[in-house]
Structure 1
Amino acid sequence: MHHFRIRSLMPRWRYALLGAVRDWMREDAQTLVYIGKVLLACMLALWVSLKFDLEQPRTALLTVAIVMQARTSMVLAKSYYRLIGTLVGIIISVLLIALFAQERILFLLSMALWISFCTAGSIVFRHHQSYAFVLAGYTLCIVGLPATLNPDQTFNIAMTRLSEIMVGLASASLVSALVFPQGVSELLRHSVRNRFRDFSRLLTSLDRRKLAAPATRAETLRMVGNVFELEIFHASSSMESDHSRTYRQRLNLLNSEFMAVTTSLHSFEQLMRRLHRSGHPQVVENLLALFTPVQAAVLTHQREVRDEHEARQVVLTSSTLLDHWETHLQEVKSRLPADLSSSDTLDFATGTALILRILNELHAYTSTYAGLDTSQKAAAVKIWKMPGMGMHFDPLTALLAGLRGALVFAAMSFLWITCDLHSGVEAITFATICSTLFASSPTPRRTVRQFITGVLIGTILLYIVNFHLLTHAQGFAMLALALSPVIIVAAWLTTKPSIAVIGAGIFIVFFLHIGFNNTFAADPVNFINAAIADLLAIMLAGVFYSLIDLSNNQWSRTRIAQALRELIQEICVHPAQPLRSRLETNVRELLLRMGTVHRVADARDKEVVDWLLSTLEIGQAVIALRSEAHSTPVPSIRRSIKHSLHQLAQLFAQPSTAWRNTTIRSITDSIEHLQQQEIRMQLTSANHQQLLAMLHFIRGALLDTDSVLTLSASLDIAEKQGVLNNA
């Protein structure tokens, strides 16, 4: 009996062991592989640099540390843009030396302007393109500043630095491509699956209990950032293969459809919350009954869809729901009370229009998702014509970021000249790296603080290696052994997202000042001077990040809210028909650039997040309203709706109680006019039903007492009253 029990438990132990091994292979083993690849690439770059007697092997090592990533295509993409940025920086360096070799002030002013331009460019562009601007900025310091001391050696310095960087890029790319190569396609597929699963949970969680609970912003903001998290991955996938490029093109369409369906779902949830709060139980009950089959459509075997193959069942189910939509709608309508008020009838029609939109967008989104595992040529052609993610940025923010970069460079150059800093070139380079590299960070001040921590740790490790290990290193093997512990520690830290900047700080300070070039030199005086200069440069950059904070002060929040309101003004009055995809992309990217999506729980960002949700909610209704108004055959209806949209644009331009009340009255007049036209001309088309639904939805959003427009209007009154009292 006892022997049988032991044998019966064996498969469970084996299963648990296999599960533990799989978890280890998926997480810890990947980390160890990455650390090993970083170490191997560094040693390869060091060996090649010493073999060819390059002047500064540490430049090749620093290049490896900067471009090394877990995924092969990301290494190739980053190496490609680093090469472009380096070449541009070298060309500008040679040009400025040729023009201002004898005019130090003019040369430094020209450098400040170039660094300002590159810093602004890193704000405007994203991902690896942003990194190319950063490299073009501080390469000017790496090549141009030493060349000012020896102008006749400018070309030799430029070619030497380029050779060292090329060795680092080649080493990183070669090791990443040959040693346990990891493509980004599987990571993309895994992320897409997780996103569909999260969306399914969000869709199915909408019920009476959720409507009664306080609204949460975390789920919506997580969905906001998800699109751009995927874009970071698939921006590099074109470096892998034709299949990866085709997959990336399909993801453009998938991202657009995902943004559309999540925005519609948020609008429907907001409508249901308003109806629940205002006491419309019959309308809420029947709308939930109409919505229940849509929720069930994303489930298979009572659980969320796991992969693209199972998503095909959702496509079939949603298609069946669309085919039988009218039948199901009539069944639900038959359960409505006969004495339902006109307002309740409009509420039900508005909710019905949103559910139908969600169903159509869900069908499109799931169809694209289910087709990701196919290689049909027609699908690829269709998606090839789809526009990618656009760019939307605040010009003033880019201008101020450029000004900050120029001021950091100018201040450090002033200290170099006036105080005759022995390590002035290194200090200026370090300050420029900090001012450009972290300019596009969502939280630059926090990033700088972490970077300072990494620099301090790196300086301590640098002292140990320079004066206790390298002095005893004989030959390449001993040299590699002396460097390996620091490389391993820094590489491990970079695998932890929360402290990755600390690892980057260790890498940068360690490889910038490691005590060998092609020959070893242990100079304590130079070491202390360099350490002091580095700390001075970082603190100076941190001071300017605090003085010109573009992401975490009241001014920046006001700018974001204003930019969001301007998007609504544009889609209300712009002559051309606005596109939903453009609105949603601009809203999400604007918020992502400012870093608010990373601070969803911050109470100070509540107003900005509320403006985001209000912009998405009302914006999509305005776009749908304009699209339907364009199709109506009655000119008076078009004029009435156009007037209401002008009033709405004015409200978003100047939020106040007066404009809010005026806009509500104007929309109410449009609704009444449309209803009168329907009675007089017997207009019963779906077009006019959609017009009524969207007008009623916008009016309901403006009447919501929890709306940010209502709160802003109340604040406006309070501020005016305070001014009067003070007067």
Structure 2
Amino acid sequence: MPVNTTSAAAGSRPLVFAGFPGSSWAFALRVWLATLLALYVSFWLELESPYSAALTVGIVALPTRAQGIEKAAYRLLATATGVVASIAIAGIFSQAGGLLLAVFSVWIGLCVYVAGMLDGNRAYAAILSCTTVALIVIEQIDSPLLVFPTGVARGAAIAIGVLAVAVVNELLSAPDYHPVLASRLEALHRRVTEFAQGVLRCEDASETAAANMLSDIAALHPEIASLTIESISGTARTAAARSAMVDLVGELTLARWLAALPPVSTTERNDRDHDVSGVTTICRTFLMSQIIRRNQDVRDSLEALRDGTHPHRRWRAPLYRSRRLAAEGAVRAAIHFMLIAFIFVIAGWPTTELCLALAAVIIGLSATAQDPRTFTTQAVFAMPIACLLGGILRYLVFNGVSEFQLLAIGLAPIVICLALLMTMPSRVLSSLGRLILVFTIAVLAPGNPQSYDPEVFVVTCLFVQLSSVLVFAAQMLLAPLSGDRRIRLLLAEANRELSRFNARRARQLAPEEAAFRDAARLEQIMMTSGGSAATDRIVAEAMRRFDQAMALRRCCAELDRLAEGPLAASVRAARAALALRDGSAILTTAEVLRQLAAQSNQSADPVIAALVLASLAFGPSQILLVSSRGKQP
């Protein structure tokens, strides 16, 4: 019986209402219900600041269960750390307000530095340790004896918010994250496979396309950790996802190396070229076999990710972070807060604790953004919108009522609409939606009983908007690290690592694992250089260092396998040529090694292939990948 393909396609199409898919509406409904549950329990327990529980829901709410649980766990851990730090700072420096602010500036810098050395929710936890101290110590700067009860109340409210999100996600069957991650990895695998197939067809191999793929693969690193706590098989799925990412980087690198080899026709010209053709043929054959093997490894890891089993080979996926970038960002964040605190001290304005605390929160959160100034700009726009929404809810919708049912109905349209905005693919709109939701709840500050004092509300709105404006002004006065400087520092560190390459230290990571670490640095460069006029030059420089480092590590790993035996002398000669970074000498040692291996009936193809690639990486042009296979490297 024939099948109506149109009907089948329509049947498989996701349900869309008002421009948003059903999954987005389900997420928005979960956020609204979790917000209500958090507020209800907080009211019932008569917490001092019940709106903190609702704030937690707005912060940790994510479309999938694993992501929300991971962020919630880190929020609890960071809150506990921040409460302990608050008690220590307030207990030691409570008698000197100026000194306390200076110490808190140092604490901000320390937290920003730690966040700069981490990624994902771990970086968020480091920043939350800073914001927790701001919301506890700074707001109680004139009453240090209230620091401990305030910290306990905040911890209780956050715990309630976390539990509310977990309960609602379980009852409403929030989707798992591993199918989403598996789909993204499969899409990347298709892109890498198409790239490799294009190389085999002698098509152009775009360096920028390869760099973008490496960047996209490395960008998944902070997301795989959430799989660990998703289910019993979470640890296995995390290992499978990690191995798939490392193997994808390896497969793409092998394809680029194959594209870099000169065509066979250009090597058959004279006697010396016949020798070069011999080692080049070995290298080409080896690379093609390794690409097929690595492609199968990726398939196996993706299947293990779907099935929840451990992969056949477990790779580590080390994270790359620049200490220099983290330190410079930390110093700037500390100075920004000190400038704002100095303004308040000089002005002598009363009741500015909220403004100062919120400024610290914005400084900390902006430090985790790709562009801190862009995040602060979003906060500047989100604040007046949040104040307007809070005022509408308080004085037009509620207007003196205290029934929880009316609170639930009044919050529904705003919470659901902003949660829908959070699901949009645009990072700007998604971030703006979350900021407006969090700021609206903070400005509204639902309580039991609810305060309707217009003077307090106006002052609160004034100071919360002033906080974002002051942070923006401080970042204009002392700008965060520019994209150009970040790129220069990252490239300089790549050059320094290459010049100080140590074979013993290189053995701490497998070449595949080290390649993923370098891909993480490349991802930072690509994210920073987006839209830059010098992108092609930056990509070429970054990929050149990536190729040279990878070639050196591969050679060291392969030469170690032949360090003992009849080929030991050739191995020593190859190491000497590698130390000189002399492409011609490296190629000569590869040919000598090929002849000696043939005489002694030993297999040295992996070593020969690695040496040929190193000779290309450190050749006169020092550019491994060419835009066409018809060009000589």
Q: TM-score range by the shorter chain?
A: 0.7 to 0.9
What is the match of residue 361 of structure 1? 294
Which structure has more relative contact order (CA 8 Å, sep 6+)? It is 2
Q: Distance in 2 between matches of 1:436 and 1:471?
A: 35
What is the match of residue 347 of structure 2? 419
Q: Is the counterpart of residue 518 in structure 1 residue 448 in structure 2?
A: yes
Q: Cα deviation per residue 1:672-726 (whole Å; 9 max; x = unaligned)?
A: 356457668964656555544433333333446483999xxxxxxxxxxxxxxxx
Cα–Cα, structure 1 residues 433 and 218, in superposed 2: closer, same or farther, change >3 Å?
farther
Q: Distance in 1 between matches of 2:79 and 2:275?
A: 67
Indicate if the aligned counterparts of 2:211 and 2:539 stay in contact, CA closer than 8 A.
Answer: no
What is the match of residue 373 of structure 2? 445
Q: Distance in 1 between matches of 2:393 and 2:592?
A: 85
Q: Is the counterpart of residue 240 in structure 1 residue 168 in structure 2?
A: no
Cα–Cα, structure 1 residues 402 and 342, in superposed 2: closer, same or farther, change >3 Å?
same
Among residues 169, 172, 175, which one is paired with 2:168 in the alignment? 175
Cα–Cα, structure 1 residues 504 and 196, in superposed 2: closer, same or farther, change >3 Å?
same
What letter matches 1:236 in structure 2? S
Cα–Cα, structure 1 residues 564 and 31, in superposed 2: closer, same or farther, change >3 Å?
same
| Helix, strand or coil at the partner of 2:157 | helix
Among residues 67, 90, 94, which one is paired with 2:87 in the alignment? 94
Structure 1 runs not aligned, ≥5 long? 1-7, 285-335, 649-662, 711-727
Distance apart, 1:42 and its partner CA: 0.8
| Helix, strand or coil at the partner of 2:320 | coil
| Helix, strand or coil at the partner of 1:102 | coil
Indicate if the aligned counterparts of 1:572 and 1:645 stay in contact, CA closer than 8 A.
Answer: no
Distance apart, 1:570 and its partner CA: 4.5
Distance apart, 1:94 and its partner CA: 1.2
Cα–Cα, structure 1 residues 224 and 150, in superposed 2: closer, same or farther, change >3 Å?
same
Indicate if the aligned counterparts of 1:217 and 1:600 stay in contact, CA closer than 8 A.
Answer: no
Among residues 194, 197, 200, which one is paired with 1:201 in the alignment? 194
Could you say what the CA RMSD is over the residues aligned between the two structures, in angstroms?
A: 3.3
Q: Is the counterpart of residue 33 in structure 1 residue 26 in structure 2?
A: yes
Cα–Cα, structure 1 residues 465 and 622, in superposed 2: closer, same or farther, change >3 Å?
same
Q: Distance in 1 between matches of 2:495 and 2:446?
A: 56
Q: Distance in 2 between matches of 1:256 and 1:673?
A: 30
Distance apart, 1:346 and its partner CA: 4.0
What letter matches 2:215 in structure 1? V
What is the match of residue 314 of structure 1? none
Indicate if the aligned counterparts of 1:637 and 1:670 stay in contact, CA closer than 8 A.
Answer: no
Give the 5 Å matches for 1:384-423: 386=314, 388-423=316-351
Indicate if the aligned counterparts of 1:610 and 1:708 stay in contact, CA closer than 8 A.
Answer: no
Q: Distance in 1 between matches of 2:10 and 2:216?
A: 36
Q: Distance in 1 between matches of 2:211 and 2:496?
A: 21
The farther-off stretch of 83-92 and 572-581 is 572-581
Distance apart, 1:390 and its partner CA: 2.0
Cα–Cα, structure 1 residues 26 and 629, in superposed 2: closer, same or farther, change >3 Å?
farther
TM-score (norm 1): 0.77
| Helix, strand or coil at the partner of 1:125 | coil
Cα–Cα, structure 1 residues 478 and 625, in superposed 2: closer, same or farther, change >3 Å?
same
What is the match of residue 642 of structure 1? 575
Cα–Cα, structure 1 residues 10 and 215, in superposed 2: closer, same or farther, change >3 Å?
closer
Q: Is the counterpart of residue 533 in structure 1 residue 469 in structure 2?
A: no
Cα–Cα, structure 1 residues 75 and 677, in superposed 2: closer, same or farther, change >3 Å?
closer
What is the match of residue 251 of structure 2? 261
Q: Cα deviation per residue 1:186-218 (whole Å; 9 max; x = unaligned)?
A: 22332333233232222223355632xx73513
Structure 2 runs not aligned, ≥5 long? 627-633
Distance apart, 1:87 and its partner CA: 0.9
What letter matches 2:216 in structure 1? G
What is the match of residue 185 of structure 1? 178
What letter matches 1:260 in structure 2? G
Indicate if the aligned counterparts of 1:455 and 1:502 stay in contact, CA closer than 8 A.
Answer: no
Q: Is the counterpart of residue 611 in structure 1 residue 594 in structure 2?
A: no
Among residues 554, 561, 582, which one is paired with 2:513 in the alignment? 582
Q: Which has the larger radius of gyration?
A: 1
Give the 5 Å matches for 1:455-466: 455-466=383-394
What is the match of residue 591 of structure 1? 522
The farther-off stretch of 448-457 and 23-32 is 23-32
What is the match of residue 564 of structure 1? 494
What is the match of residue 329 of structure 1? none
What letter matches 1:486 in structure 2? I
Q: Distance in 2 between matches of 1:243 and 1:628?
A: 35
Q: Is the counterpart of residue 250 in structure 1 residue 228 in structure 2?
A: no
Q: Distance in 1 between matches of 2:407 and 2:206?
A: 59
Q: Distance in 2 between matches of 1:678 and 1:420?
A: 80
The farther-off stretch of 165-174 and 463-472 is 463-472
Greater percentage in helix: 1
| Helix, strand or coil at the partner of 1:438 | helix
Give the 5 Å matches for 1:714-725: none
Indicate if the aligned counterparts of 1:702 and 1:709 stay in contact, CA closer than 8 A.
Answer: no
What is the match of residue 154 of structure 1? 147
Q: Distance in 2 between matches of 1:160 and 1:492?
A: 30
The farther-off stretch of 428-437 and 547-556 is 547-556
Indicate if the aligned counterparts of 1:123 and 1:440 stay in contact, CA closer than 8 A.
Answer: yes
Distance apart, 1:256 and its partner CA: 2.2
The farther-off stretch of 531-540 and 164-173 is 531-540
What is the match of residue 209 of structure 2? 218
